[in-house]
Amino acid sequence: MSTPTGRLWGVGLGPGDPELITVKAARLIESAEVIAFHSARHGRSVARSIAKHYMRDGQIEEPLMYPITTETTDHPGGYQGALDDFYEECAARLAAHLDAGRDVVVLAEGDPFFYGSYMHLHKRLAHRYPAQVVPGVTSVSAAAAESGRPLVERDETLTVLPGTLPVDVLAEKLKATDSAAIMKLGRTFPNVRQALQEAGRLGEAWYVERATTDKQRVEPLAEVDPATVPYFSVALLSSRAAAVAPTAATAPRSGEVVVVGLGPAGREWLTPEAQDALATATDLVGYGPYIDRVPPNPRQRRHLSDNRVEAERAAFALDLARGGARVAVVSSGDPGVFAMASAVLEVAEEYADVPVRILPGLTAANAVASRVGAPLGHDYCVLSLSDRLKPWDVIAQRLSAAAGADLVMAIYNPASRTRTWQVEAARDLLLEHRSPDTPVVIGRDVGYPTETIEIVRLADLAASTVDMRCLLLVGSSQTRLTGNGRVFTPRRYPTPS
């Protein structure tokens, strides 16, 4: 029975900080039977020093020691010939493990395919054995992060260059690009500095040495002593767009008010547009229970108020925005349905300089309707039984008119602790135009764990079963209640005979 072939892994370790190793890389390092790593002739391996935190006792180690680094060689094929022979010999050593069924992890600083030595082994082995590369954080990304300077923005281009290029070639490429990272410094540093000077970009360049390690150094490249530059360093030309952009401290603050509909209940009822407005706001303004539905964020200020001070709340939000705040005024359901949108817009007539946006939300009528079927499948109207902002005579007139027009009705604010008689008064008005058997849907706390849905006859609608957390859907003459408890209003209306 043949032995299963082992798998070759080229594992990126990132720039030096062991915490920047990926979860996958850490898992593979810990589980591998064989760990291979490159080193110079002094025997010290940067790769192994990064990975040692994840290695375990008993693993087979294969140190791959370069025969030369920068010195001369008497090899018949010169410097490249010596390295080619070295990689062939290393590949043969690893192949012996793979043939024996042992998985081999080759450690690579940064990313294995970004100027990495692993790629020379990959070219020699990947066509013979299962091979996979685990990417790592490159030194370029680490250098940009540690210097605090973005590499590219919008449609800029980034050019990665080896410092081994001739000075004139480097200079031409540096002139032609927006941003650049120059690798392989060390002995090449004087030529790189000269190329930056000839390209007219020396003043923009930054030098980052051993990024993310305890030996890290970051400073303007023009101030760096060439004698102190190691191989593990990078020269950066950062994004020009980022360099001229206003900082958070100097950029003018642009305030606005966004009236946000939260929908009837939790996050799953919230639109992505509303989620973004809540996330980017500096201040949240609204009725206390509605504000409580938004997860707290210590970056934001929360301004809670009573439900009966809509004009004052709107003015407060607009004053905040005039001062530069990004204010989200929150409403349950849709802000344009008996909620804060109209209140804000009314007050905003005196704040012409403050932008106001309205973001819709799923209103309670649609949420309740969806629980029973399609009672709003034909023409319908939306009414509120609250007489706090309009007299009952107006409400009664509208109820009678809607009932006479045979419209399905979505009734908001049907009752409260201090307002209990309107439900039965509305029922009696509707019975003047509707059959006692007309289905009425009572939806309470839709979307919450306490949600209840009840369907009753219009004649049986009682105030004791309704409170402020309810919404009523009253059917038309065509609304049907099916045997399985579904309610719908047909889209066709009977033609008068």
Q: What is the pLDDT along the chain (497 residues), one digit of tens a residue?
A: 566 889 999 999 999 999 999 999 999 999 999 999 998 877 789 999 999 999 999 999 999 998 866 555 666 666 677 888 999 999 999 999 999 999 999 999 999 999 989 999 999 999 999 999 999 999 999 999 999 999 999 899 999 999 999 999 999 999 999 999 999 999 999 999 999 999 999 999 999 999 999 999 999 999 999 999 998 899 999 988 766 544 444 444 579 999 999 998 888 889 999 999 999 999 999 999 999 999 999 999 999 988 778 899 999 999 999 999 999 999 999 999 999 999 999 999 999 999 999 999 999 999 999 999 999 999 999 999 998 889 999 999 999 999 999 999 999 999 888 888 899 999 999 999 999 999 999 999 998 999 999 999 999 999 888 988 899 999 999 999 998 989 999 999 998 76
DSSP 228: G
Nearest to 131 by CA among 96, 85, 95: 95
Residue with tokens 């080759």: 106
Give me the pLDDT at residue 369, please: 95
Q: Give per-residue burial for 368-385: e unless 16+ CB within 10 Å, then b.
A: bbebbbebbbbebebbbb
DSSP 303: E
Mind spelling out the 3-state secondary structure of 90-146?
HHHHHHHHHHCCCCEEEEECECCCCCCCHHHHHHHHCCCCCEEEECCCCHHHHHHHH
CATH of 140-244, one of 3.40.50.300, 3.90.76.10, 1.10.3720.10, 3.30.950.10: 3.30.950.10
> Are 38 and 83 contacting, i.e. CB atoms less than 8 angstroms apart?
no
The CATH-assigned architecture of domain 256-362 is 3-Layer(aba) Sandwich (3.40)
- For the chain, residues classed under CATH 3.40.1010.10 are 8-137, 256-362
CATH 3.30.950.10 fits 365-488, yes or no: yes
CATH 2.60.40.1220 fits 8-137, yes or no: no
DSSP string computed for 172-191: HHHHH-SEEEEE--GGGHHH
- For the chain, residues classed under CATH 3.30.950.10 are 140-244, 365-488
Tokens read off for 459: 């004649």
Q: Can you tell me the distance from the alpha carbon of 407 to that of 433, in angstroms, rounded to the nearest whole number?
A: 11
- Rg over alpha carbons for the chain, rounded to the nearest Å, is 36
Residue with tokens 């709107």: 314
Give me the pLDDT at residue 221, please: 94
Write out pLDDT tens, residues 118-147: 999 999 999 999 999 999 999 999 999 999
